[in-house]
Structure 1
């Protein structure tokens, strides 16, 4: 038992290892950029086709062996049934015959063992009828014989129907075997068609890969020509010759020339001198404006100081007046106060 388990484990490990190897090889083919971009791998395709054919042949042989085993099993079962039926029929014919030349079985045991000696001369041990015995046993025997005949006829009919069913099952199995063979033939044709399609696809991919390689070469040659032309133009253009006129374009109409930013090499000496003069003039004007601003700010500061002093003087005067009005002269005298003085000549 343990030996069988060990063999089963080894076979499972081998199957798992083979699947892992196949998966690793498949990943190596799929993730190979060169093969995926340039085209298919013919060796890998041929190997796949070979492996698939071997697998199909193996499955076909297994299916044929299984079908042969099923047919042989059916034949053996049929032979066993026929032998059993033959033995049963022989048993029915020999052991359960309805009509025999001996009338004793048909007429019952009473006729078979009929004694011709007179009953008066027989003793108690030779009695043929007893009290309680059924006197209609012959009629019952006939009914039993008829029932047995019906049962035998039913068994024969059932045997015939069973043989017909066996024949139908055999025909169905033959038809299924024929269909399986036809399906295998169709599968073989389909595999041939797929193989032709794969070969055509491989040829098409090879043509596309060759066309792509040629297109890439032509593109590379065109880029090289364009790069050489650009280098030659750059070397012979005004950009490397430091020509100042290359950065300007005359637009006419008395307008100043237009500056080309990609070719401009800087200002000319007279432009630099003019720019320097304008910058110095702007500096002088700016300095003068700053001095004027400083003078204005100084005047505004003096004016604010004077205004602050005047406001402070007004504030002090207002505070003094408020002191006189609210604190010092709180009880202002009335006319009666002044009328009490100088009322007489003395």
Structure 2
């Protein structure tokens, strides 16, 4: 294909130029410390504040207009309500006046049904026994009426008087009977008291007789007890004398060795009669104790010899342990020397490696021109 030089597009050139201008303006805003406040557009914020104040003032004026209109409507509503109340009051007043003038209760047709003065104006159903209105159908004169009220009341009073007199007589009779019963009760009580006194006297005499008999019996028992006590004391005294004599003449106090011999064998004795060992027995015991002492001394010597042998064994073992410890210390010392030599060799190799890195590898150090590339654009 042939190389053809094409003319640039004017729109593209204009767009590129526009972007360059915008970038320059942006850089002038961002890199200018006086106009920039951490990336915030102050002019835009001021404009927003003004718009907010304007909106608030407009809203306040609208609210004030609404309030004024509302107050006006409230006043109109109050006036209308007052007018309506006045009309209703005047209407009620006219109605009441019409009722007072043209609708009185006595002018009504059924006023006689609820006339409060009807009972005062009306006559009673029966004025007397000769009232011409009291016919058979009036039910005002009936059979069984009390026409003889005075005679009946007088008869009732006489009957009541008679009943009262009878009640008085009955009460007097009852009181007389009660008095007679009280007299009988008093006599009976006196008789019972006399009988009780007689019985108590007899009981006291009987008690005295029983006390006397008991006293005599107790005295007889006392005499019998004292006699028995004397006899027991005499018997005890005789027994004591016999026991003393037996002890004085017995084998226990005389210390007869034959008295302690047992019938089961010559090597056994009776414990309650045995008075001690013979000199031969004591000598045999001493010889046995001496033999035991010598045996104990021999055992102690043998134990001492065994302890000395154990001490010798412990000494030899300690010496062997010290020898092994010295050998181990020498081996550790030799091993430490070898380890030090190896560490020195490693240190030399590491040092040589660091020198190689600094001289051969890390040779491209950054210059001042490298740091000037930062903060050159707004992006």
TM-score when scaled to structure 1? 0.47
Larger radius of gyration: 2
TM-score when scaled to structure 2? 0.43
